[in-house]
Amino acid sequence: MAGVDFVDVRKSFGAFPVIKGVNIEIEDGEFVILVGPSGCGKSTLLRMLAGLENITAGEIRIGNRVVNRLPPKDRDIAMVFQNYALYPHMTVADNMAFSLMLAGKPKEERDKRVGVAAEILGLAKLLDRYPRQLSGGQRQRVAMGRAIVRDPQVFLFDEPLSNLDAKLRVAMRAEIKELHQRLKTTTVYVTHDQIEAMTMADKIVVMHDGIVEQIGAPLDLYDNPANLFVAGFIGSPAMNMIKGRLDANDPNRFLTADGTALPVARPAAAARGRDLVYGLRPEYIALDPNGLPAEVVVIEPTGYETQMIARLGGNEVTCVFRERVNAKPGETIRLSIDAAHVHLFDADSGRRLF
Ligand code: ATP
């Protein structure tokens, strides 16, 4: 096994820079997810690691080897693609054994490795089938099996679950995570789905427009986003973001454009006299008879919790209550805010001030 390092990696297509100096350290055995909106450059970064795309500048290391100029086959990686890329005319067993055959491994060893991988993935009974005779989830497992048999130093996954329906996606998420816990192979996984990233990763790399916005453990990013981009991207439903300023006479009050006062627990000196964004996660709003008046706009019971959009002063806020709520659109309710969990961001730079 081996760690992976990106050192000031850059990539331009013609004159158009798409990766603008990326540094990421991935430790041996870590499960790292690159996440970000469409076009942010995450697939390009993964393809450069795989050797499918040249690097314009910088260095990529696998273990202690600089791999910038190594062809894909010499990098000791295995990649699982979004479309699985199975050979339709080959059985499951042959699909899984194919790369070992190309590498000149004897039949006995091929059979053994395919057998072990099939056992791990629950494919043992399907080895004689063809891809067209498999469900989407089974095909996905065969694609993973093909990677496992090679026993690589690093697994790469490029949006491997995006062709599956919602339920299967959740099941496969757990399977991939379990697989990683079992094999402990360094894994770099690309997705645009922040829930996938939150639930599976040891470490998340949030990308945006060719740069890394923040790197951290999932809950660390959730609790301590570095800036507005990360705060808005991580978490579902998304963080409420309300514009305003601290009250010049009382820095424990945040005043929105319409004059509504919201509580602030830790008014950082840096926040005074600036245009700010008040960042409030939906679960830190509670129903409270002594709270601020708000009007119900939309109410969505999901069974175990209730989501609501409420109009609080001039702003609509999303709330999540861990209870059933009896209220109708148009009704007035009262809400309190857990100020200890509020963040303030600089409106100009987007940087979190606390
Ligand atoms: P998605 O989730 O949509 O796949 P992504 O974050 O993986 O997005 P990339 O596929 O890495 O994004 O693309 C990053 C940028 O590079 C995009 O603006 C894309 O249009 C551009 N790009 C990618 N491949 C090429 C190419 N071969 N030639 C020119 N531009 C490219």
| pLDDT for the residue 316 | 97
Residue whose C-alpha is closest to residue 51's, from 71, 65, 66: 71
- DSSP, res 282: G
| pLDDT for the residue 270 | 84
Helix (H) or strand (E) holding 319: strand 315-321
Tokens of 232: 């808005």
**Rounded-to-integer distance, Cα 51 and Cα 70, Å:** 7
| pLDDT for the residue 349 | 97
Which pTM does this prediction carry?
0.93
- Calculate how far, in angstroms, residue 17's C-alpha sits from the geometric centre of ligand 1: 10
List pLDDT tens digits, range 58-93: 999 999 899 999 999 899 999 988 877 899 999 999
The CATH 3.40.50.300 portion of the chain extends over 4-233
The CATH 2.40.50.140 portion of the chain extends over 240-346
| pLDDT for the residue 167 | 85
- Calculate how far, in angstroms, residue 353's C-alpha sits from the geometric centre of ligand 1: 32
Ligand 1 within 6 A of 38 CB?
Answer: yes
Helix (H) or strand (E) holding 45: helix 42-50
What is the ipTM for the molecules in this complex? 0.95
- Calculate how far, in angstroms, residue 166's C-alpha sits from the geometric centre of ligand 1: 25
Nearest CA to ligand 1 atom 3: 38
Ligand 1 within 6 A of 81 CB?
Answer: no
| pLDDT for the residue 162 | 85
Q: Are 205 and 15 in contact (CB under 8 A)?
A: no
**Which residues make beta-bridge pairs with 350?**
none
| pLDDT for the residue 149 | 92
Domain range 4-233, CATH architecture: 3-Layer(aba) Sandwich (3.40)
**Rounded-to-integer distance, Cα 83 and Cα 23, Å:** 28
**Rounded-to-integer distance, Cα 122 and Cα 32, Å:** 25
Ligand 1 within 6 A of 42 CB?
Answer: yes
- Calculate how far, in angstroms, residue 36's C-alpha sits from the geometric centre of ligand 1: 12
C-alpha distance from residue 82 to each of 199, 256, 310 (Å): 19, 44, 39
- Calculate how far, in angstroms, residue 196's C-alpha sits from the geometric centre of ligand 1: 20
Say what angle helices 107-121 and 92-102 make with each other, to 10 degrees.
130
- Calculate how far, in angstroms, residue 44's C-alpha sits from the geometric centre of ligand 1: 6
Ligand 1 within 6 A of 12 CB?
Answer: no
Q: How far apart are the first and last CA of the chain?
A: 39
Q: Which residue among 16, 40, 196 is best mutated to probe the pocket of ligand 1, counting the most ligand atoms within 8 A of its Cβ?
A: 40
- DSSP codes of every residue in 85-145: ---TTS-HHHHHHHHHHHTT--HHHHHHHHHHHHHHHT-GGGTT--GGGS-HHHHHHHHHH
C-alpha distance from residue 63 to each of 25, 269, 303 (Å): 11, 44, 48
Ligand 1 within 6 A of 39 CB?
Answer: yes
Per CATH, which fold does 240-346 belong to?
OB fold (Dihydrolipoamide Acetyltransferase, E2P) (2.40.50)
Q: Which residue among 22, 44, 81 is best mutated to probe the pocket of ligand 1, counting the most ligand atoms within 8 A of its Cβ?
A: 44
Query: How is the beta sheet containing 31-35 ordered, strand by strand?
Result: 77-80, 154-158, 186-191, 31-35, 203-208, 211-216
Nearest CA to ligand 1 atom 14: 41
- Calculate how far, in angstroms, residue 41's C-alpha sits from the geometric centre of ligand 1: 6
C-alpha distance from residue 289 to each of 285, 333, 339 (Å): 13, 8, 17
C-alpha distance from residue 110 to each of 4, 164, 286 (Å): 28, 29, 59
**Which residue ranges of the chain lie beneath pLDDT 70?**
none
Tally of residues, the chain: 354
| pLDDT for the residue 120 | 87
